[in-house]
Amino acid sequence: MDMLRPRSPFEAIAVLTAMAGWSWMIQMSALSRSLAEVYLREYVLLTTEGGDR
């Protein structure tokens, strides 16, 4: 926990930037996972709806 305590203004900015970047990465990961899931569900509906399988 001592590593997160900034000792200078530069370190405080670096910690906040890292936290913001991590948050943005998690949100984009969740969005891409959701879009991939929707795509795969639609693909399954389209392929099984015609009675080919």
* Model confidence pLDDT, tens digit, residues 6-25: 688 888 888 889 999 998 99
pLDDT at 33: 93
pTM exceeds 0.75 for this model: no
How distant, in Å, are the alpha carbons of 26, 28, 38, 39, 40 from that of 49?
A: 34, 31, 16, 15, 14
Share of the chain above pLDDT 90, in %: 30
Residue 51 has a pLDDT of 54
Distance CA 50, CA 53 (A): 8
What H or E segment, with its residue span, contains residue 39? helix 9-49
